[in-house]
A and B are shown apart, each in its own frame.
Chain A
Amino acid sequence: MERQIINKKKRVFSVEPNKIPPSEVFTRKYTSHLVPALKKLNMNKNSSQVNQLTVKHEVDMALALSAQEFAWSRFLLQKLSSSNNPTTATSSSSNGIRIQERSGKEGGGDEDGEIEEKLRELQKLLPGGEEMNVEEMLSEIGTYIKCLELQTIALKSMVQDTT
């Protein structure tokens, strides 16, 4: 039943690709990736120690798969498929620390230097941002933010539905 629903939704996409707003498309793709993945996780899970990281992994994977027209999603996919979950979890938490250190150092720096620092910070946030040049990164950041926003909306509603 669920599979039929998902298949039907996929058919809808291909019929009218131009008329569906991309945010909707993204959200649909995202949920259609994530929900079955979570189900599968639940079915397979007999040991609980990697619960949290695996879910995060699936969440990121769904994000990357639903936004494949953007450069950062390629990098995200690479990261997900090559590295293990602990890497992604730790990198996101260490970013916060790094920013505070940076801002402590920057007290007397000149303006351009500060801006450069911040751009580099931004590059670290974006998956694959460090491999892009600044202009490219700035354009990708916009789409990344949009997709993150849509992702949070989708996740919120998923959580709400099940509570």
Chain B
Amino acid sequence: MDPPLVNDSSFSPANPSSYTLSEIWPFPVNDAVRSGLRLAVNSTPSDKDVSTAAAAAAAAEESTVTDLTAGWGGRKARALNSEENESSKMVSLSSSGNEVKDSGERKRKLCGSESRNGDGSMKPEGETSSGGGSKATEQKNKPEPPKDYIHVRARRGQATDRHSLAERARREKISEKMTALQDIIPGCNKIIGKALVLDEIINYIQSLQRQVEFLSMKLEVVNSGPSTGPTIGVFPTGDLGTLPIDLHRNIYEQQEANEPRGSHPEWLHMQVDGSFNRTT
């Protein structure tokens, strides 16, 4: 709705050349909470969210909300979008932080805009207006002029300097990604706490890697010809029986022509994923 803001229309609807995370991971695309993931891969935004980390442009008008951080942000995004017309204030995009406006949120202080050029003059206003803050938030209908700095709303009792805000935004991004990972790793849903979840993830990856190693060892033994392992003794001629094992393999390979090998991949594909098509 607002031209300077990057919104749906400015994105191409699909990335045919790359696979997006959202396709591989079966997350609902419309979920505002997951938008952080989509940000990382720059996939198609839903109609509610704008997903870009690069456009630090104008303040969002009531129609679009950027949800760079999940958690409380997600809820507010949905609540906001449902009350588009009363726009209590909205947020501008930024690469390091964002706000979501919810008129119902009384704890939120209106800290105004903390500009990139270091103007902290809005701070005292925000801190003192706890009672008036809620009113101000509800009433604040005026569109914010498009500037290219961060509009951030501080939570009650939290510092509003740039550093802590940036750090908070970063932390929120990280925790959002961790929740996304939790959904992938089996059994991680019930675990609370970053450290434990990270432990699980580490263990899972290690076990996957070990499995791959083990399977590749097995593959090496098994795949070197149909005559390895327990069947080694079954050679047809006495000559072969005296040769070292690797030569046996070679000989058998040559003797077999390509026929059994040729059917191998088809088999494989049928087993690996039932929906493969046999394209012979």
Please give the residue numbers on chain A whose beta carbons come within 8 Å of chain B beta carbons, in ascending order: 1-2, 5-6, 8-9, 12, 17-18, 21-25, 27-28, 31-32, 35, 38-39, 42-43, 45-48, 51-52, 55-56, 59, 69, 92, 95-96, 99, 111, 114-115, 118-119, 121-122, 125-126, 134-136, 138-139, 141-146, 148-149, 151-163
Q: Does the CB pair B265–A42 fall under 8 Å? A: no
B218 CB to nearest A CB, Å: 5
Q: Can you list 13 pairs linking A and B with CB atoms under 8 Å apart?
A: A2-B262, A2-B265, A5-B265, A5-B279, A17-B17, A27-B269, A31-B272, A45-B246, A46-B250, A51-B224, A55-B217, A135-B173, A142-B177
Among B195, B218, B262, B264, the residue within 8 A (CB) of A114 is B195
A105 CB to nearest B CB, Å: 14
Q: Does the CB pair A154–B205 fall under 8 Å? A: no
Residues of B within 8 A of A153 (CB): 272
Please give the residue numbers on chain B whose beta carbons come within 8 Å of chain A beta carbons, in ascending order: 14, 16-19, 21, 23-25, 37, 40-41, 170, 173-174, 177-178, 180-181, 184-185, 194-195, 198-199, 201-202, 204-206, 208-213, 215-220, 222-226, 229, 244-247, 249-250, 253, 258-259, 261-262, 264-269, 271-273, 275-277, 279-280
B51 CB to nearest A CB, Å: 13
Residues of B within 8 A of A38 (CB): 219, 223
Among B180, B264, B280, the residue within 8 A (CB) of A161 is B264
Q: Does the CB pair A161–B271 fall under 8 Å? A: yes
Q: Does the CB pair B272–A27 fall under 8 Å? A: yes
A72 CB to nearest B CB, Å: 12
Given contacts A31-B272, A114-B195, A125-B209, contact A145 B223 (CB under 8 A): no
Q: Does the CB pair B219–A155 fall under 8 Å? A: yes
Closest 4 CB pairs of A and B: A155-B215, A55-B220, A118-B198, A138-B177
Q: Does the CB pair B212–A155 fall under 8 Å? A: yes
Told that A152-B212, A155-B215, A159-B223 touch, could you supply 4 new A-B pairs with CB distance under 8 A?
A: A1-B258, A45-B249, A52-B216, A149-B208
Q: Does the CB pair B276–A24 fall under 8 Å? A: yes
Report how far A96 CA is from B202 CA in the complex, Å: 10
Q: Does the CB pair A139–B41 fall under 8 Å? A: yes
